[in-house]
Amino acid sequence: MRKIRTILGTTLLALVLALLAISSFAQQTNRAEIDDKYKWNLTDIYPSDEAWRDAVNALSSELDQIETFKGTLTKSAENLLKAMKFNSNVSKEATRLYIYASMNSDLDSRDSKYNGMKQELQHLFANFGAKAAFIEPEILATDWATIDGFIKEKPELEQYRMGLENMFRTKAHSLSEGEERIMALSSTVTGTAADIYGTFRNAEMPAPKAVLTNGDTIEVTSAAYSRYRASSNREDRQRVFEAYWHNFAKFKASIGEMLNGNVKSDMFQAQARRYESSLKSALYPNNIPVDVYHSLVENVNKNLPAFHRYLEIKKRMLGVDTLKYLDLYAPVVKDVDLNYTYDEGSKLVLEALKPLGKEYTSTVKKAIDERWIDVYPTEGKVTGAYSNGAFYDGHPYILLNYNDLYDDVSTLAHELGHTMQSYFSNKNQPYPTSDYAIFVAEVASTFNEQLLFNYMVKTVKDEDVKLSLLMNWLDGFKGTLFRQTQFAEFELKIHEEAEKGNPLTGDSFSEIYDDIVKRYYGHDQNICFVDDYIDMEWAYIPHFYYNFYVYQYSTSFTASISLAEKVMSGDKKALENYMTFLSAGSSDYPIELLKAAGVDMTTAEPFEKAIAAMNKVMDEIEVILDKKGL
């Protein structure tokens, strides 16, 4: 999830970039050929670019008013309320402006028009942030008792309590007015590395070619790579892997500088605000103990034998002498093609989500029917999938790259989880607490995936299809818990190296990544052979530009397994608690919200339950394999 925040922590942009299930709907590259019902209706945000421009001009004319509040904030409850309201209204309108430009840009990253609109807004908001830099220092110049008294005097201030309390909790990391102004202005440059990476990767990076075993020559775009890595033809997988990763290696130095620039930006933010590390800087504002991060990495490394068991099952089902990294996405059940059109997949998801109640499923249907979702890949469209729930007065949006695979159905369920959390939080929370922290963002999404899996396993009768679904779940488990923790360990390591003063280059990134990936996959134990060119995979992961985001896929996944088990057992109180969680926004700290929902992430219990669930599925798979004599 990528966030740009105003002074008081209100969300300016919340994009959940979830999964790396990049689609390959290769035949449909012309957006004009796609039926409108499968495309976003962005006129819900603004009816036209002209209306957007009018809104920009209107907001611009109001921004200087922020300076009229200077020196008045702590003189009365009324003054504080006026300033908070003004800041909140600016944030809400700025968010609306930004998502319109951003999502239009995402539909065709080759079109510089909307990218230019984004840059214009970034400059505008950076200037506003500089003018508003006095707010936090001025409030912190008084004591909490005074602010608490204001809130009691003016009940309208209650909606800002959480943000104000957190401001005082993080007081040691707040700066003077002048310093805050510099920090605000710096936002125009600190995101440059991520912007360059996104533009290069999605729009300008040339695609290599590969010759398939049938003689066809293909362009190995990211979409094609995603398609052919799941091919049943091992030689084709080999050729596509080699072409794709060797192509990344040609740009190792440049992409290395991009990621190095992002790490330096994280370090700058941390050091400027007097945090002991970039990790602490990323986690402390949401009151997440760094032990949660370290424990995740340690627990995963301790449980690599369970991961290796999964790899041995994969090897057994593929019938290969040596399992290779390029085999990990290959179909393992012969003659079973889990293909679903988007319309079929939508119906499956709606059925699977019925345990969450009528309001939940009717809103999901509305999202499908009323063009909240942009479904298919087209030329220039950003890869992957995300849900953007930042349009507070409207509705969330989902970007997909749907390719008729079961993974795409699962991705749809995943993104709808994000969308529904945004929908319920926006509906039940005032704007200042409608956003939710990154730490809980992946709970609702992986919860939906779990419901879909359970529905599919219970409804299918064919043993081969069931086996395919069970393996698909394990693949998802691998991708969400082990693979994301692998990324989290890499992200932690590169920041630690930079903080020690060690240089970061494309070569050093590859060396660090190679060591981690080979350890996780048991390369030296002959569990899974990892080709040397996989040391470039770090350059493929956009999440490394989102400041310690990826670990939350893993923590959220373990939380969602625990919560889903309770809801699916028919526990009405568990369902009530879960729906309360979805509606809570940022009304409390993430750890406390999850505790109220029924899971304590400061303990090892959620992780242990997740590993137990994994072993249970592997037991079931092995029973079927033994029965089939495989």
Residue 34 · residue 28 · CB < 8 Å: yes
Name residue 387's beta-bridge partners. Answer: 16, 398
Dist CA 593 CA 585 (whole Å) = 9
Crossing angle of helices 551-568 and 605-628, rounded to 10°: 70
Active site members = 415
Task: State the burial class of residue 369 (Cβ atoms within 10 Å of its Cβ: 0-12, 13-18, 19+).
Answer: exposed
**DSSP codes, 311-351:** HHHHHHHHT-SS-BGGGTTS--STT---B--HHHHHHHHHH
Structure tokens at 300: 């995963």
Query: How many Cα atoms sit within 13 Å of 442 on the Cβ side?
Result: 22
Q: Which helix (H) or strand (E) holds 218?
A: strand 217-219
Planar angle of CA 489, 495, 496, nearest 5 degrees: 85
Of 534, 532, 539, 524, the C-alpha closest to 494 is 539
Which is it for strands 397-399 and 386-388: parallel, antiparallel or unpaired? Answer: antiparallel
Dist CA 390 CA 507 (whole Å) = 38
Residue 202 · residue 380 · CB < 8 Å: yes
Structure tokens at 2: 């990528």
Dist CA 254 CA 193 (whole Å) = 11
Residue 142 · residue 74 · CB < 8 Å: yes
